[in-house]
Amino acid sequence: MKLATIVRSIAFGLGLAALSTSGCLVDNALDLVCDDTIEARFNAYAGAVEALVNVSQDLKASVGASCVAIAKDLGATDVPDLSNLDDPKFDEKLTQACTKANEAIKAALAAKPLLAVEVIGGECRIDASAQLACESKCVVSGTCEPGSVELRCEPGELSGTCDAQCTGECTVTTGSVECQGGCSGTCNGVCAGTCSLKDSNGTCIGKCYGECKGACTGTCDVVPPSAKCSGSCKGGCSVDYKAPYCEGKLVPPKCNLDVDCQAACNAQAQLKAECTPPTLIVTLDGVGDGALAKTLTTNLPALYVAALEYGPNLVEAGADVAVKGVEAADAAVDALGCAALYSTSILATFNASVVASASLSASIQASVTINATVGVGIP
């Protein structure tokens, strides 16, 4: 059986092991040379796997700690110990701990209190500099201008400081913004919908499930033309942004890049994204000092990031790596010359990707389940 065929059968997750076995030029048994494009492709995918391993470790630590804390705070017993990240059964124990946390939350919500979760701040910024540096090695022929973040960021995903009219959504971490739409945090004003807390005059001073017309803490998705966004504006500004950054993907540059190499570079940028957890204010029937409200306010932010901010990008990045890796393996069925040159790194990369992918899946799935129970979504 040929090497690429073996790789296809065991490396479905990321397909990395065969990347260095395509396009290789074999001069003789002792002089193995790989085509520059294939070498760049392998290095890009190896970099993506390294980023995958790092983010997987970070997520399983934060998600595991949050689930254990919630479960114990709500009185669950026999909660697994997740202090050792190198425990070979860590993923299994994480799932058990998060299941106990989820069951404890459901029990606390059995009386059907009005649960309000206000989301203030929080964002993920892709590592655009890492992607641009990686892509510079993917050029097939000629030269390639990588372009700017402003030009290459997906429509609606560019953010930054807007000194004029914010035509997208505005997120403030301190203070408030005048709002005429959905508000992720506290709405101080008129709520066209259900308000979790009102003052003696009937004015909304809590979470508005509907349209908020007033001062919004957190993220407002419709800012009136007369209002100024003092925080981060995402999706449109009437003038050029200051300090722009991208919260989505960078579209490919308009030059001749190896598509598999570029896909791996994009995956690296997604996997190296820096995410800032939001501040969550949780209340039940307008009160925030109960056990459930306290533990969710403290521990839910990490699960929110994993499920709703970070998770989708990681899943997509992993899928991109998997598809392009398998495609490269398919193309490499008859080109085995470079396997000897990279055999050690191929095996290490493959093993690391399998372990990291499993951990990542366990962390994200557990986080999604708990967020669904609480009823939290991206505003």
- What's the pLDDT at 340? 57
Cβ(186)–Cβ(283) under 8 Å?
no
Residue 134 CA to residue 127 CA, distance in Å, equals: 11
Of 189, 224, 244, the residue that ends a domain is 244
Is the pTM for the entire model greater than 0.95?
no
User: Which residues form the domain of 14?
Assistant: 3-117+280-374
Tokens matching residue 105: 């939350």
pLDDT digits (tens, 9 = 90+) for 341-374: 665 666 677 777 778 888 888 999 999 999 999 9
Q: How many domains does the chain have?
A: 2
- What's the pLDDT at 286? 73
Amino acid sitting at position 73:
D
Query: Do residues 240 and 293 share a domain?
Result: no
93 is a domain residue: yes
Query: Do residues 36 and 108 share a domain?
Result: yes
- What's the pLDDT at 5? 36
Query: Do residues 293 and 194 share a domain?
Result: no
25 is a domain residue: yes
The H-assigned helical ranges of 163-275 are 259-271
Q: Output the CA torsion sign for 23, 28, 29, 33.
A: negative
Regions of the chain short of the pLDDT cut 50: 1-30, 329-335, 378-379
Query: Do residues 240 and 284 share a domain?
Result: no
- What's the pLDDT at 10? 34
pLDDT digits (tens, 9 = 90+) for 235-266: 999 999 998 999 888 888 878 888 888 888 88
146 is a domain residue: no
260 is a domain residue: no
- What's the pLDDT at 40? 80
